[in-house]
Amino acid sequence: MNPSSEDFAQIRREIEGIDRDLLELLKSRMAIVEQIAEAKLEKAVPFRDGPREERVLQRVRQLAVEMGLDAHRIERLYRDILDMSVARQQAYLTTRDSAPLRIAYQGVEGAYSHLAAQKRYAGRVGGALLTGLPSFRQVFEAVRDGQVDLALLPIENTTAGSINETYDLLAEGGCSITAEVVSRIDHCLLVVPGTRLEDLRTVVSHPQALRQCERFLHGLTHVQTQVEYDTAGSARKVKEAGDPTFAAIASESAAALHGLEILVHGIQDQSGNFTRFVEVAREAVPCAPGSACKTSLLLVLAQSRPGALGELLQEFSRRGLNLTKLESRPLPEAPWRYRFYLDVEGHQDSAEMRDALVGIDHCVEDLKVLGSYPRAERP
């Protein structure tokens, strides 16, 4: 039977009522999203959570099937809702009395850089907005271009040594070191649940992580390694592949985040495996009065002065200044010449440091202070 005009109008009114209910529910969801945004700022968690979004989509697809709805269209709808939710979180920032600190790190959530940033900035008054970027250069340029306030970059590891890319980026200028953070690094071998060690054929991770686990990997004669741009991204890749011949070296947090099984704990070559991170900003930040400081220098020795490096070291030694690091890197435009990075205990404005910098002037062609900052406690 065909509905009458009155019945048809009533059906439309019912649909309009359901539409209003849907919008009210969406409004309620957006209000909760703002609460989530505040919690994320407090805990220094990125707004965009890819694994969480995938779990939401998987759940709604399943519910759509159970309810007899088109799962593909429901997924498309929810992708829009998730985008709307992230946009609402971003908009929420403009309504707060205090703006959160914007911090960039290399990698994705669960990467060691992310964990170090989360530990350092969680609980900050005003909150902290973390953003993961694919490469060190993108992180550095985000600070230099003013897209973020700070960045945390790894600069050396107690097992694998210096991270040269960070040194080379600092040489380009435009940023100062404002702090250092030292984090313990415990590497785990992550696999899809049920995988056995003898099943593995490929282990993927960041090149630094692979170097830090060389001894363990050398014992896996049936396995080849594959480089990925970060550790947590490697874990995500293993999860997406669902391949029992595929494993990642990453953190315990990355395993939990991606639902992977930890096949072996603590596979790094050295049990005391630590990474030093430097915090960089466009402008230098004063050290707190009374704090133990460190100064990082970048210099090129005078080419026409034999023994310049020895003279330079003596200038620091005579003033009781302790060098904690001396690193050389090639000068790209001058074959077989090098720039040197020095870490010196003391502040650049102390009398001893000022005298030392004047004293080494005849030994160098170029000298740049990369920053004076609070010295991290030794682990």
Say whether 253 counts as a known binding-site residue.
no
Q: How far is CA 189 from CA 115, 186, 228, 232, in A?
A: 18, 10, 15, 12
CATH for 287-374?
3.30.70.260
Query: Is pLDDT above 90 for 90?
Result: no
Query: Is pLDDT above 90 for 108?
Result: no
Query: Is pLDDT above 80 for 30?
Result: yes
Q: Do domains 5-93 and 101-184 have the same CATH topology?
A: no
Say whether 243 counts as a known binding-site residue.
no
Q: Which of these CATH numbers, 1.20.59.10, 3.40.50.620, 3.40.50.2000, 3.40.309.10, describes 5-93?
A: 1.20.59.10
Would you call 275 a catalytic residue per the annotation? Answer: yes
CATH T-level topology, domain 188-267: D-Maltodextrin-Binding Protein; domain 2 (3.40.190)
Would you call 245 a catalytic residue per the annotation? Answer: no
Confidence at residue 44, expressed as pLDDT on a 0 to 100 scale: 75
Query: Is pLDDT above 80 for 73?
Result: yes
The mean pLDDT of the chain is 90
Q: For residue 2, what pLDDT band results from cuts at 50, 70 and 90?
A: low
Query: Is pLDDT above 70 for 203?
Result: yes
Report residue 162 as tokens: 């210096």
| Chain center to CA of 249 | 16
Q: Which residues of 51-78 are buried (b: 16+ CB within 10 A; e: fewer)?
A: bebeebbeebbeebeeeeeebeebeeeb
Say whether 329 counts as a known binding-site residue.
no
Confidence at residue 9, expressed as pLDDT on a 0 to 100 scale: 82
Average the pLDDT over 328-347 and give the result.
91
- Active-site residue among 136, 246, 277, 316? 277
Confidence at residue 65, expressed as pLDDT on a 0 to 100 scale: 94
- Active-site residue among 246, 275, 295, 316? 275
Say whether 85 counts as a known binding-site residue.
yes
**Interval 290-307: pLDDT, tens:** 789 999 999 999 987 889
**Interval 145-194: pLDDT, tens:** 989 989 999 999 998 889 999 999 999 999 999 999 999 999 999 999 99
Report residue 14 as tokens: 């019912």
Confidence at residue 87, expressed as pLDDT on a 0 to 100 scale: 77
- The pTM of this model reads 0.76
Instruction: Write out the E strands in the chain.
Output: 101-106, 128-133, 150-157, 161-162, 176-184, 188-191, 202-205, 224-227, 246-250, 261-264, 274-281, 293-301, 323-330, 338-345, 364-374
Distance CA 149, CA 236 (A): 28
Q: Which of these CATH numbers, 3.30.70.2190, 3.10.129.10, 3.10.580.10, 3.40.190.10, describes 101-184?
A: 3.40.190.10
Weakest mean pLDDT among 29-38, 61-70, 244-253, 357-366: 29-38
Say whether 73 counts as a known binding-site residue.
no
CB hemisphere CA count around 226 (13 angstroms): 16
Domain ranges of the chain: 5-93, 101-184, 188-267, 287-374
Type of residue found at 124 = R
Say whether 184 counts as a known binding-site residue.
no
The answer to whether 285 touches 373, Cβ cutoff 8 Å, is yes
